[in-house]
Amino acid sequence: MPRSKKGKRGGTGSSKGSLRQEVLQLQLSKTALSRPGKNGVKGESGVSDDDLASDVLSCYSSASENASIQEEGTGEVVDEQTAQEETEDKLKQCIDNLMDKSAKTRMAGLESLRLAFSSKVLYDFLLERRLTISDCLERSLRKGGGEEQAAAATVCALLCIQLGGGVEGEEGFKILRPILSSILIDSCASLSARQSCARALGMCCYVSASDDAEDLLKSIGHLESVFVGAYPMGDGMLPSVKAGTPALHSAALQSWALLCTLCPASRIDSILSHHLPRLHACLESSDVNFRIALGETIALLYELGRDIDQEFEYEKSEALCDSLKSLATDGNKHRAKNDRRKQRSIFREVLQYIETDDFTEEKIQFGIETIYIDGWMRRRIYYAFKEVLESGVRHQLQFNPLLRDIFGLGPPLILDATVKATKISRTERHLFNSAAFKARTKLRNKVRDKRADVM
């Protein structure tokens, strides 16, 4: 995947250019001083790990401005290539930090990579280093503490997003899936680590193993084994769980719902018959975020059912609608005001969809482009990426071929000033996005049919 060629900005006599030149030179000199190491020992540089993470992002910021900087009076040019090389040097140091004996240094390296992987597209840089990084992440997952395991799992998901759905991403997932699954189902592991592994397993499988029925089924099974712990017991009562467990159940349920969008029709039928009644019963849970995850998952399963059969109806739909109405108008004072507001909003949407098949469309803008979230499946997919990428999701939507393919956006746009000033109408954007998403859904349905025989 070739790097996009970036233009120039700023002139010879620009004071802004001179200031940025001085700042960049200061960064270069500070890095040059830090490289030899303290007392000749590798990894013990004069710059703190926090400074290193900050420098990586600073270099990315300066490189992303597409500028070549010319110093006054000398004609010396520090162009994008120089900034890119400096950034790659810092990323290499972050990767080296993952192998350090100090847990603090490894954590700093993981945090730096998390920030870099979410804020930029690094396919070319990662292509020849993917196995090294995968080995380092596997080591952190196996031997690190709970906090390190959680951070490593998040970087696993980001690495899969960076590598895309090709052979390289599949290789990484084959290495990391067993350890992610092992931590997820280990009741003795840290709850935060298990929660992070649940999200990472769902995302990695969605990106890298969507066409592999065996890996898909194994991942779905492991995620199910976690959130079924919230299902009613034999006497119909919900089990009591310790603090923090509902967040784990929510993460596992949402990742499971993401993977359900890849399942063939035959599998969806069994999922609907087995899980809908139990998810309905769990709406009595005392945790607001888990209730919201349940409501969204129920709506997604309804959408999957209606995709297979337009007349699909849950056998206890009246009782379900009564439960949803109760949650959509919940006024219990013992719940926090913000929790009540958020819950009412979500369950009004869920109830509206189940009763009338109407969905409240959401618009996501990035650059001059827009995508429309016009269904519960599309919504789960978008929010799954947003949970992992956080503030970097819009940049990835602009430049990451994987996300652009998933949301039907086509190749990344290369725009000049004239094109940037030209805006297409909302109707045109909406029609294009809808057509692209429908075309991709048809293609996925064909793949689902092929997987049905295996499943």
pLDDT in tens, 157-204: 999 999 987 888 888 898 899 999 999 999 999 999 999 999 999 999
- Residue that is written with structure tokens 């292509």 in the block: 127
* Amino acid identity for residue 6 in this structure: K
* Helices marked H in 164-190: 167-184
**What is the extent of the structural domain holding 279?**
263-358
* Residue % of the chain over a pLDDT of 90: 57
In a domain, 383, yes or no: yes
CB 306 within 8 A of CB 262: no
What mean pLDDT do residues 366-386 have?
94
pLDDT for position 384: 97
Report the pLDDT averaged over residues 234-243.
87
pLDDT at site 397: 95
183 in a structural domain: yes
- Domain final residue, candidates 247, 277, 302: 247
Reported as a pLDDT band with limits 50, 70 and 90, residue 63 is very low
Q: Dihedrals φ, ψ of 187, to 5°?
A: -70, -15
Residue 253 lies in a domain: no
Evaluate if residue 11 carries a pLDDT over 50. Answer: no
Q: How far is CA 412 from the centre of its chain?
A: 19
List phi, psi (to 5°) of 249: -60, -40
The answer to whether residue 312 scores a pLDDT higher than 70 is: yes
Residue 328 lies in a domain: yes
Q: What is the pLDDT of residue 39?
A: 37
Residue 441 predicted with pLDDT over 80:
no
Helix (H) or strand (E) holding 228, with range, is none
- Please write the tens of the pLDDT for every residue from 206-227: 998 767 788 899 999 999 999 9
Q: How far apart are CA 196 and CA 150, in angstroms?
A: 5
Does the residue 200 lie in any domain? yes
* Domain endpoint, select from 309, 333, 358: 358
| Predicted structure pTM score | 0.77
Q: Which helix (H) or strand (E) holds 372?
A: strand 369-373
In this prediction, residue 341 carries a pLDDT of 86
Q: Are 140 and 94 in contact (CB under 8 A)?
A: no
> Which helix (H) or strand (E) covers residue 450, if one does?
helix 426-454
CB 299 within 8 A of CB 376: yes
> What is the number of structural domains in the chain?
4
Contact in structure between 154 and 113 (CB atoms under 8 Å): no
Q: How far apart are CA 414 and CA 355, in angstroms?
A: 43
Both 191 and 241 in a single domain?
A: yes
Which of 184, 217, 247 lies at the terminal end of a domain, its last residue?
247
Distances (CA, A) of 246 to 192, 228, 287: 11, 11, 7
Q: Rounded CA gap, 262 and 444, in Å?
A: 8
Across residues 298-313, what is the average pLDDT?
93
**pLDDT for 435 beyond 50:** yes
Does residue 169 sit in helix, strand or coil?
helix
**Between β-strands 369-373 and 362-366, what pairing exists: parallel, antiparallel or unpaired?**
antiparallel
pLDDT interval class at 331 (50, 70, 90): low
Shared-domain flag, residues 118 and 136 = no
Torsion, CA 106, CA 108, CA 111, CA 116, rounded to 10: -100
